[in-house]
Amino acid sequence: MLPRVKISFANGALGQVEAMADGCLGFLALGASEVEGDNNFKLGKAYTVKKLATLEALGITAENNPNLYRNVKDFYAEAGDGTELWLMGFADTATFASVLDKDNAAGAKSLLQASNGKLRGLLAFKTPAEGYAMTTEAGLDADVVAALVKAQGLGEWATDTLRAPIFTLVEGYGFSGDTMQLAALTTMEYNRVGIVIGDTTPNSSNACMGIMGGRIAVTPVQRKISRVKDGALTPLAIYVGDRLVELADVETIHEKGYITFTTFVGRTGYFIADDNLATRIEDDYRSLTNRRVVDKAYRVAYNTLLETLNDEVPIASDGNLAPAWCTSIENTVEQAIISNMTANGNLGNDPDDPNDTGVECIIDYAQQILSTSQLAVGLRVKPNGYAKYIDVELGFKAA
């Protein structure tokens, strides 16, 4: 070998991490139609698209699958081409409750499994068979009400089994426009589920789930999908029942815990009113924002602590955990949260305080892991606050 100088590139010193797919969503299209051709769209099969043209390449058109087509089109109008979207179609006899049932292997569960835990949320909409005899309950199709407990169970299953927590938004199918009939979701305990009311056409039984999904997909987990600074939604008109949003009783819909739309004097266009989930007002995870933040922290912590599973744990002379080892694990978990969340503005840390990272991991030394093989870890993350109510005292200045 000839004399030489060789320089190799070191890697890994910067501690950079791959961006998490925080806005990766799945569409559940009930009442979709298969398209003839081996390579075209089939029911019960998971598909991934990144633009409307990809959907069209599967043979989907506005004529053969109007609801699916328009929701995907609306999604990319909000999110832009290149945003990953998963979807699965189901027969027109399928119900929200059956598709979202964690015990239905051919339902939404199969889409979650196909994505290998990549999905952060599901949005469900439907086109029932012609002649569908809708049963009304609390101002909506009874199927929507029945879906709440199923979607909550699916979210808990995804968390406990796949270690991949999700939320689900179901369209408020069949809403009559009578806000007084609506049940108060604020008395329920489904903090992984929300119901959306409002569509781009009057007297629609559906909701504009594509618009909702697109806005979620491009919004960081810590940010309200209702943030005015992010601009108006793409539709030129949104209705609640037969009335334009600005003429409808959206305040009652919001107060009862539904996700709907609103307008503001002096601003053109339509906005999401808030991000309520179907649970009690005092629930920490009542807002979709807090749900997404804590779910991301869950994923980061799980992936980090997985490295410790079945690893040796040093034991101090008193039989408890070695303090230095505990500190090392605490630091590792905190640094993972900092890199994936604090650095991206996902947590409510004080920017003027370098010691405030927005995360705290604590492992109590006094654990008898020798006899239990169990390790208890305390992890807390700090959310952001939100200016939902702004009160201004206005008067004259005398001098």
In the chain, % helix, strand, coil (3-state, to 5) comes to 30, 15, 55
398 part of a folded domain = no
336 part of a folded domain = yes
Same domain for 230 and 347?
Answer: no
User: For residue 187, what are the domain limits?
Assistant: 25-276
Same domain for 179 and 113?
Answer: yes
12 part of a folded domain = no
Q: How far apart are CA 287 and CA 279, in angstroms?
A: 9
Output 139-142 pairs: Cβ under 8 A, ≥24 positions apart.
139/175, 139/176, 139/178, 139/179, 139/180, 139/181, 139/182, 139/183, 140/172, 140/173, 140/174, 140/175, 140/182, 140/195, 141/173, 141/174, 141/205
What pLDDT does residue 6 have?
53
Residue 147 · residue 278 · CB < 8 Å: no
Q: 334-368, pLDDT tens digit by residue?
A: 999 999 999 999 999 888 898 899 999 999 999 99
Same domain for 272 and 317?
Answer: no
192 part of a folded domain = yes
pLDDT-derived band of residue 17, with 50, 70 and 90 as boundaries?
Answer: very low
272 part of a folded domain = yes
321 part of a folded domain = yes
81 part of a folded domain = yes
Last residue of a domain, one of 218, 249, 276: 276
How many domains in the chain?
2
Mean predicted confidence (pLDDT) in 68-76: 98
Tokens of 336: 């993972």
Same domain for 317 and 251?
Answer: no
What pLDDT does residue 386 have?
84
Same domain for 243 and 358?
Answer: no
Same domain for 338 and 236?
Answer: no
128 part of a folded domain = yes
Last residue of a domain, one of 276, 295, 326: 276
Burial code of 248-285, b = ≥16 C-beta within 10 A, e = fewer? bbbeebbebbbbbbbbeeeeeebbbbbbbbbbbeebeb
Q: 80-108, pLDDT tens digit by residue?
A: 999 999 999 999 999 999 999 999 999 99
Q: pLDDT: is 9 or 186 the higher one? A: 186
Q: 157-181, pLDDT tens digit by residue?
A: 999 999 999 999 999 999 989 999 9
Same domain for 72 and 119?
Answer: yes
**Considering the entire predicted model, what is its pTM?**
0.93
pLDDT-derived band of residue 19, with 50, 70 and 90 as boundaries?
Answer: low
Same domain for 251 and 116?
Answer: yes
Q: 191-231, pLDDT tens digit by residue?
A: 999 999 999 999 999 999 999 999 999 999 999 999 999 99
Q: How far apart are CA 84 and CA 397, in angstroms?
A: 54
Taking alpha carbons only, the member of 278, 73, 69 closest to residue 170 is 278
